[in-house]
């Protein structure tokens, strides 16, 4: 509401200034009227160019100061550091080039402003200049693109080296389900055509496939720290995207095919909770929550940091709430947790009248 009022006031002020300018122009009718800009008009426009330059520099500095805190904290995956470094270098290059070129653009706009009696010089081309301003961007861009391709290829190299943990991420409107390969670390066959809601076989696992019997289906993703995880994504209905921002990981989930992504978590949830950037974000969020609760709005519980899997494709009306908690823990903690889980054979296949899988919490709203 406040934003709307502020906008309305700004629009009204702009209209008032415009009208005042009109009145001022009409009252000056007796002076010489011409549509051709005078030297003084050009000079004033030149000064306004400098004013605009200061404005864009100011807003850039302001944004860095005010909004840097909204960037993601330190990467929690092995490949994340290289990815962030590539991003940082790209940002620095863009920042330097934009700062210099904007200054030059505005300065020359002022320097060569129109003047009475001055004629523009006809200057067709200059091979050397064109060579310089073509070859420098080519070298810089080729360098960035090659580096990016190299980084992309090394991140996307999903292989079975180093005994990775195999996990399936199953997307559907509007929740996630994860499936582990069980003791043999091999996922059983599955197909959406085998989904049987009556038996709660919601992922469509093939009961005749023995690899599927020990599969563990969960609603909260647990990962052991330091172990490579190979994710295999499936979607039941529409295009979703498995986005794990803290691990700098994202992959589309496409109906009818299996997509893959692989990463190694390097910090446990507990370790990430004491990361200074995370701590300051939690503090800020809880301050806002406390203020809202005190202000008579709904009471909000203090927030605690958790890794999260989000959907990053607008897949329907509850897309915003399509998420799953991820817990990264030590190998021992992970093993204890896994021990406590039931397999597909123990739940869905055992008793047709008792459909159940390890539901921890239901993320979907409707
Ligand atoms: Cu989705």
The single residue listed with the structure tokens 């409707």 is 366
Measured CA to CA, the distance from residue 91 to residue 94 in angstroms comes to 5
CA of 236 to the centre of ligand 1 (A): 10
| pLDDT attached to residue 31 | 59
Ligand 1 center from residue 244 Cα (angstroms)? 13
Ion ligand 1: residues, CB < 5 A = 240, 311, 315, 322
Contact 201, 136 (CB under 8 A): no
Return d(Cα 195, Cα 182) in angstroms, integer: 20
Question: What's the mean pLDDT when you consider all of the chain?
Answer: 88
| Segment 126-139 mean pLDDT | 93
Q: Give 68: exposed, middle or buried? Use CB within 10 Å, 0-12, 13-18, 19+.
A: exposed
The 10s digit of each residue's pLDDT in 12-59 is: 999 999 998 888 877 776 655 677 788 888 899 999 999 999 999 999
Span from the CA of 201 to the centroid of ligand 1 (angstroms): 20
Closest CA to 307 of 217, 221, 227, 240: 221
What's the 171 CA to ligand 1 centre distance in angstroms?
A: 7
Ligand 1 midpoint to CA 243 (Å): 10
Residue 190: per-residue pLDDT: 83
Return the structure tokens found at 18.
């415009």
Cα-to-centroid distance, 262 and ligand 1 (Å):
20
Mean pLDDT of 335-346: 87
Res. 255: pLDDT tops 90? yes
- The angle that helices 80-111 and 127-155 make with each other, rounded to 10 degrees, is 160
Model pTM greater than 0.85?
Answer: no
Please report the pLDDT score of residue 365 as a whole number: 44
- What would the pLDDT profile of 265-312 be if each residue is shown by its tens digit? 999 999 999 999 999 999 999 999 888 888 777 777 889 999 999 999
User: What is the pLDDT at residue 351?
Assistant: 54
What pLDDT is recorded for position 244? 96
Ligand 1 midpoint to CA 312 (Å): 7
The one-character DSSP state at 348 is I
First to last CA, the chain: 29
Poorest-confidence range of 47-56, 138-147, 178-187, 277-286?
A: 178-187
Cα of 265 vs centre of ligand 1, distance in Å, is 23
Cα 87 to ligand 1 centre (Å): 26
**Alpha-carbon distances, residue 101 vs 33, 61, 93, 104, 245 (angstroms):** 37, 17, 12, 5, 33
Q: How far is the CA of 49 from the centre of ligand 1 (A)?
A: 46
172 CA from centroid of ligand 1 (Å) = 7
Taking the centre of ligand 1 as the mean of its atom positions, its distance from the CA of residue 254, in whole angstroms, is: 11
pLDDT at 205: 82
CA of 362 to the centre of ligand 1 (A): 15
The 10s digit of each residue's pLDDT in 65-113 is: 999 889 999 999 999 999 999 999 999 999 999 999 999 999 999 998 8
Q: pLDDT at position 115, please?
A: 86
Please tell me the distance between residue 326's alpha carbon and the centre of ligand 1 in angstroms: 17
pLDDT confidence of residue 355? 47
Query: What whole-number percentage of the chain has pLDDT above 90?
Result: 60
User: What confidence score (pLDDT) does residue 188 get?
Assistant: 83
What does the pLDDT read at residue 249?
94
At 363 the pLDDT is: 46
């Amino acid at each position: 509401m406040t934003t709307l009022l502020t906008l309305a006031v700004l629009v009204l002020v702009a209209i008032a200034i415009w009208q005042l300018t009109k009145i001022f122009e009409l009252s000056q009718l007796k002076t010489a009227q011409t549509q051709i800009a005078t030297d003084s008009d050009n000079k004033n426009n030149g000064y306004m160019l400098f004013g605009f330059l200061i404005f864009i520099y100011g807003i850039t500095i302001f944004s860095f100061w005010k909004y840097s805190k909204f960037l993601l904290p330190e990467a929690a995956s092995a490949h994340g550091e290289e990815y962030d470094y590539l991003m940082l270098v790209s940002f620095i290059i863009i920042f330097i080039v934009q700062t210099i070129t904007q200054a030059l653009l505005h300065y020359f706009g002022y320097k060569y402003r129109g003047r009475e009696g001055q004629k523009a010089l006809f200057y067709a081309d200059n091979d050397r200049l064109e060579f310089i301003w073509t070859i420098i961007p080519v070298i810089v861009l080729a360098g960035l693109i090659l580096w990016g391709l190299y980084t992309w290829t090394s991140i996307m190299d999903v292989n079975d080296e180093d005994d990775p943990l195999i996990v399936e991420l199953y997307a559907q409107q509007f929740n996630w389900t994860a499936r582990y390969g069980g003791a043999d670390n091999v996922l059983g066959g599955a197909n959406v055509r085998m989904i049987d809601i009556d038996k709660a076989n919601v992922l469509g696992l093939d009961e005749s496939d023995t690899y599927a019997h020990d599969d563990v289906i969960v609603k909260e993703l647990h990962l052991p720290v330091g172990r490579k995880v190979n994710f295999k994504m499936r979607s039941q209905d529409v295009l979703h995207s498995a986005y794990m921002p803290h691990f700098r990981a994202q992959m589309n989930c496409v109906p009818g095919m299996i997509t893959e992504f692989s990463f190694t978590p390097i910090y446990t949830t507990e370790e990430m909770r004491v990361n200074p950037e995370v701590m300051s974000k939690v503090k800020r969020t809880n301050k806002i929550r406390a203020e809202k609760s005190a202000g008579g709005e709904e009471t909000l519980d203090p927030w605690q940091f958790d890794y999260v899997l989000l959907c990053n494709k607008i897949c329907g009306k509850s897309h915003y709430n399509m998420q799953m908690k991820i817990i990264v823990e030590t190998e021992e903690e992970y093993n204890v947790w896994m021990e406590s889980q039931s397999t597909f054979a123990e739940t869905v296949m055992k008793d047709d009248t008792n459909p159940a899988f390890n539901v921890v919490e239901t993320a979907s709203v409707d």
